[in-house]
Amino acid sequence: MANKKNKHSRRQFFSKTVPVAIGTIGGVGLVAQSCQQANNDEEKISLLSADGQLVEVNKSALTKVPYKPVPPDEARKGIPGKHFVMVVDLARCRNARKCVKSCDHHHQLTPDRPFIKVLRMQDNKTSAPYWMPKKCFHCDNPPCVKVCPVGATYKRSDGLVLIDNERCIGCRFCMAACPYSARVFNWGEPKHQDGDRPYSPETSIPSQVGTVEKCDFCPDMLRQNKVPHCITACPNGALYFGDRNADSVTNGSETVRLSTLLKDKAGYRYHEELGTEPNVYYLPPVDRSFPFKEAPEGQPS
């Protein structure tokens, strides 16, 4: 145990020293301040300041009103009157992976186990390849929820399928049952996590060893009437998010009617024949915004 702690603090020390060193060199005036910061245990963020310098700011100073995620019991009830859906326009995806990055960042994931995958798809030999961003489909008839022996995975009235990792027993039946491989498991002790945060199934933070996780549609954002992080992160507007009941989806810059969008662009759901009734729709990759380009060598998938 002592050993473990030691390792941890060394890692912390290391990650702190580098930015502090930058700050120190950046301006003489900052030296005193950064020395203080080195003693301070709070997490830092690098920012561009008013005078054009890269500075370190306490993370807590930035988030003025820290959002308090709802506790596990409350997270079982959906947001009333809503039914969330996502639409992915395959014609606009060029494998930029910004959604993956922002998702990893906000869920404090390491790149080796992302919630979002961008898959290279090719339906058959003669048809053209395309990129397919894939999250959890939040099915209306979710195979994972059916098989969970303890109800750790559940379906909410607003369409979301969430996981309570304080209840999960780690049997991985849900992973075996999910036809879309949406879930990841914490095989070992999770890395790089903000352990002090109160756990909520709505943020999926902090993760726990021996439990299962997946894309959660960022319910903490939804409660603040904001779209999930991946939607705003996409530079090409390929991802739409919205409320099926209100029949409107937005990709951050434009808002369209869900029904019109699906009608006009022949939207479909992936493997409809499985009867899972996903809440993620795809728009076929026709009239593409970008030509298809193979992934750079060594890109994690």
Partner 1 sequence: MKSLYKHILIIGLVVIIAAGNVFAQKNKKKTTRISVEYVKDHNKTETLVAKLRVKEKRYISLNDAIVKFYSVSDTSVLLDKIRTNKDGEAIFVIGDNPKIFKDSLGFMAFEVEYDGSTSLKGSNKKIAVKQSNLEVSFFQKDTIKFIEVEANEIGGNNQTSPVKGLKVLFYVKGTFSLFNFAKEKTDNKGKIKIEFPVTMPGDTNGELTIVAKVEEDDIYGTVESMGEINWGIPVPLVKEKQRGLGDTDAPLWMVYTLITLLSAVWFHYLYVIFMIIKIKLAKRSF
Partner 2 sequence: MKLDQKSSKMLAYFTSQMVKISKPGMVWLAIAFVFILGGLYALIVQIIEGHIVTGMRDNVVWGIFIANFIFFIGISYAGALISGILHLLRVEWRTPIIRIAEIITVISTLIGPAYILLCMGRLDRLHHLALFGRIQSPIIWDVLAITTYLIGSIIFLYLASIRDLAALRDYPFKSKWRNKVYKILAVDFNGTPKQNRYLDRSLDIMSAIIIPLAVLVHSVLAWIFGMTLRPGWHSTIFAPYFVIAAVFSGTGVLIIAMWVFRKYYKLESYITKIHFNYLGIILMILGALYAYFTFSEYLTSWYGSETWEMEVLYKLFNPNEYWWWFFFAAIIGVVLPIIVILIPKFRNINSITAVSAIAVLALWVKRYLIIIPTLEAPLLPLQDMRPEYIHYTPTLIEWLLTFAGVALFCMLFFLFSKFLPILPVVKADEGNYAQLRKTAMKRVIKRKVKETEKKESEKIKDL
Q: How far apart are CA 24 and CA 49, in angstroms?
A: 14
Sites for partner 2 among residues 22-61 (CB under 8 A):
none
Q: What is the distance of C-alpha 58 from the center of its chain?
A: 24
Q: How far apart are CA 151 and CA 165, in angstroms?
A: 11
59 binds partner 1 (CB under 8 A): no
Residues contacting partner 1: total by CB under 8 A: 42
**What is the smallest separation between the CB atom of 174 and ligand SF4, expressed in angstroms?**
3
82 binds, among partner 2, ligand SF4, partner 1, none (CB under 5 to 8 A by kind): partner 1
Among 66, 111, 129, 151, binds partner 2 (CB under 8 A): 151
Given the complex with partner 2, which of 38 and 274 has the nearer CB atom? Answer: 274
29 binds, among ligand SF4, partner 1, partner 2, none (CB under 5 to 8 A by kind): none
196 binds, among ligand SF4, partner 2, partner 1, none (CB under 5 to 8 A by kind): none
Which range of residues in 139-147, 215-223, 231-239, 246-254 is near partner 2 by CB under 8 A? Answer: 139-147
Longest CA span, the chain: 65
300 binds partner 2 (CB under 8 A): yes
Sites for partner 2 among residues 80-109 (CB under 8 A):
none
Given the complex with ligand SF4, which of 69 and 142 has the nearer CB atom? Answer: 142
∠ Cα 108 186 212 (to 5°): 95
109-145: string of b/e by CB count within 10 Å (b at 16+)?
beeebbbbbbeeeeeeeeeeebbbbbbbbbbeebbbb
163 binds, among partner 2, partner 1, ligand SF4, none (CB under 5 to 8 A by kind): ligand SF4
**What is the smallest separation between the CB atom of 76 and ligand SF4, expressed in angstroms?**
13
∠ Cα 59 135 143 (to 5°): 125
Sites for partner 1 among residues 144-203 (CB under 8 A):
145-146, 151, 154-155, 157
Q: What is the distance of C-alpha 212 from the center of its chain?
A: 15
80 binds partner 1 (CB under 8 A): yes
Alpha helices in the chain (DSSP H): 2-26, 29-39, 59-62, 98-106, 143-147, 173-177, 219-223, 229-233, 258-264
174 binds ligand SF4 (CB under 6 A): yes
90 binds ligand SF4 (CB under 6 A): no
Report residue 85: phi and psi, to 5°: -140, 160
- Strand-pair partners of 55: 47
Q: How far apart are CA 251 and CA 24, in angstroms?
A: 40
Q: How far apart are CA 27 and CA 15, in angstroms?
A: 20
296 binds partner 2 (CB under 8 A): no
Report residue 33: phi and psi, to 5°: -65, -45
Which range of residues in 17-25, 88-96, 110-118, 166-174 is near partner 1 by CB under 8 A? Answer: 17-25
Residues contributing to the site for ligand SF4 (CB under 6 A): 147-150, 152-153, 163, 168-174, 212
